[in-house]
Structure 1
């Protein structure tokens, strides 16, 4: 099927009742890509009509998540809470046209209807008791219900799932305005998308059952509904629906765990969308290649190992400015000062092959930026023994006399000590690692020396020699 290149005007419309989760972020990305791929517009709308659960903190969490991922909106954010007059205006119009009516049914009556349906094994639905009510009871604040057609069906061609058709007999008269005057989701979203000229609604497939109801409201208003694309849910590594128990489901928690925005964008795009066997995509490639019709209608499984692999790729070969910016953020959160050690570019060049996240990179790099208080006990006991004193002192003297602190010169100095003392590399390599890092793990020894710098290297070898001397004295 030929790619649809009409300019898409779409929106991401989260409810500010919590953080921006992974499923929402992927939906936002698909919306953003659909708009960018066709030269259209991406609108951000905050659906905050749930007054009890919506919070300013959640709004900020959503905006922060969008900003971190680089999903910039062309318009918005718009807030439903600022559009109440518009919703009431349309409700009044529907009431005047007989396409909506006031419902005075009590919660007790509605609950009894629900229980009866459940007992009968039927889908709970409103029975239309107030649909043609001639006299309203006194002292009861009504809700407003939409007068759904009783016959026919609703059919639409979903851009992801194909043709969907639902009989109107399966749809009841949904509430469009609560007794307190606030609109319900299914009503407000129609008015918003209509007013904002949205021509493609991309959202999770948990909304599929809402779509026929919304299409009927569009038709009651005598307007053509937008197209729809319902994307599948995301499953955890274990195959169950992704939830809090899987750990990081908030977008910003992935930042805290050391993932890069470009890695997250690449990974989220591949959760349900593909282009051949290609795994790595720049944002420019995603914009060029993305089509909502290519999204798979089956659920996608979150694969942490693949995300880690992608993140390491972007650490090594991604945008240097992004890596630098994120790394500075992590250094600050770890209480480290970047000016106290090697340049971040040099650090990444050495460490990126050894880590998958920025958190790992920072923690493994602590000794390059701050002194450690004590040696790791087992490593010091095994490698900082009296026999290591001569190789360390020999190397220290060579390092102190180097004219240039370059990787090749540092490697040559280590090799010269090995050759002169006729020892295996391990006899100097491991004691040197413990002396410099406080433990037995480090990058290649020449690069470790290079990152550590002359002054800090000599000071730490001196400290190790003093430790060895104290240990030898204690043995006498």
Structure 2
């Protein structure tokens, strides 16, 4: 990479299903690499599989990129000199390139049926040989072609791999060599004329002048095939002759030491959005799946990542997805927010369908008063609903486990004493704490034991926001009414 060759990377997902965290990690590394080097990110949609692609998934991809804060220099909604950026709109280009590859001898028709291919693969495996394509149709004569056509056989187009090793330097894994017997001729056009990923991806890279390809390790085995195709494309004048450098990102491992799959619930980006992860928190954690800012620092901003990001620092070893650590990092980013920004970010979880209270019960002033106490305790934004519901429900939630845990023998006497002292106290957190502390002392209880029945009476739960600040915001009348209701329940 030189100053004379501006960095151009691409993020090219397929619009199939919901975006997943592995896809986001790939987008993040490409985006950070482009921004670090002052280069360009090309956002490209690989939607040539009509049976699996959908407009809904396409819309979700664009929405996810916006939510994450990724901008792109060329692609949907931005356009650019290499438009269109949806492969389904570039079919004429692929047909033309496939024809030119055949004419130049880099590709050929293959008439082998699926059954014939499988029989020959099984025979190769039984004999201990590599079971890739055996080149049967590589050098068909005109007579043989005419005979197959006469039989009514369909054909695919195969790319002709060179009979020599393919060597390249992976930006993450170093020098790699693939022997020709392990990388055999492969299909680039289906029998129905539809181009395959193996063709369209390198063709678009060549035409869009991509300089670096950063992608998952699962695509490593296809790299020698693509390198050979890049070289063939250069020979026939497709693109500017640029052969990208490759960096293959480590696997992300999930439960049971298995590769995290898009089918795993914890891989769904929508799950993290619905729970109220911040883009900053989620991206901070995902960046640690194969990379780190420094050995002793896990928390940093996206701007700090961009400033420091070097693909050479990516670790080739598999990275384990740890949800607890992801949550902890997100909680840190929540605490770092400006109070007004935190309050605004909570808004979706204070309304239907998340909020269990009637809309008219919501009191913005009460929420503004309690929000700073919630900000230091939440893990994700959706936690706000259960933490503040006591303020906006007519009655606290009924949590039987919390009730049974807090309301022990003698709790009624304690609550009567606490009620009297609360009623007489000034209505601020410090005075309310002194009132409950004094009530506990009269019954031989420390503050922790004394406040438990009060908390459950008022909020319905044994855990939550700081009790006395909560009582201050709830107000004298509603607090005493809830203590009275708890005493009535205890009296049975």
> Which TM bucket (shorter chain)?
0.7 to 0.9
Equivalent residues of 2:13, 2:23 under 8 A apart: yes
Equivalent residues of 1:5, 1:38 under 8 A apart: no
Q: State the aligned residue count.
A: 460
The change in CA–CA distance for 1:325 and 1:73 in structure 2 (over 3 A counts) is farther
Q: Does 1:123 align with 2:130?
A: yes
- The match for 1:257 is 275
Q: Does 1:327 align with 2:346?
A: yes
Q: Does 1:398 align with 2:410?
A: no
3-state SS of 1:229 partner = strand
3-state SS of 1:385 partner = helix
- The match for 2:293 is 275
Equivalent residues of 2:14, 2:46 under 8 A apart: yes
The change in CA–CA distance for 1:32 and 1:345 in structure 2 (over 3 A counts) is farther
The change in CA–CA distance for 1:319 and 1:79 in structure 2 (over 3 A counts) is farther
* Match 1:378 to one of 387, 401, 404: 404
3-state SS of 1:208 partner = helix
CA RMSD of aligned residues (A): 2.8
Q: Does 1:389 align with 2:416?
A: yes
Quote the Cα distance in structure 1 between the aligned partners of 2:65 and 2:299. 21
Equivalent residues of 2:172, 2:316 under 8 A apart: yes
3-state SS of 1:203 partner = strand
* Match 2:178 to one of 166, 169, 181: 166
Quote the Cα distance in structure 1 between the aligned partners of 2:453 and 2:420. 11
Deviations 1:16-74 (A, max 9, x none): 22221111110110000000101111111111111211122222332233222222222
3-state SS of 2:38 partner = coil
Equivalent residues of 2:44, 2:75 under 8 A apart: yes
Equivalent residues of 2:330, 2:379 under 8 A apart: yes
- The match for 1:241 is 259
TM-score with structure 2 setting the length: 0.85
Deviations 1:288-334 (A, max 9, x none): 00011111111111122221221110111136566445422233341
Equivalent residues of 2:421, 2:439 under 8 A apart: no
Quote the Cα distance in structure 2 between the aligned partners of 1:95 and 1:290. 41
Q: List alignment gaps of at least 5 residues for structure 2.
A: 77-84, 235-240
Quote the Cα distance in structure 1 between the aligned partners of 2:472 and 2:189. 68
Q: Does 1:96 align with 2:81?
A: no
Deviations 1:117-137 (A, max 9, x none): 232333322222222222322
1:50-449 equivalences under 5 Å are 50-77=49-76, 78-133=85-140, 134-135=142-143, 136=145, 137-138=149-150, 139-150=152-163, 152-222=164-234, 223-236=241-254, 238-243=256-261, 247-277=265-295, 278-318=297-337, 323-332=342-351, 333-336=353-356, 337=359, 339-340=362-363, 346-371=369-394, 372=396, 374=398, 376=400, 377-378=403-404, 381-382=407-408, 385-399=412-426, 402=427, 409-415=428-434, 419=438, 423=442, 426=447, 429-449=451-471
User: 258-267 or 410-419: which moved more?
Assistant: 410-419
The change in CA–CA distance for 1:5 and 1:204 in structure 2 (over 3 A counts) is farther
Shift of 1:85: 0.3
3-state SS of 1:23 partner = helix
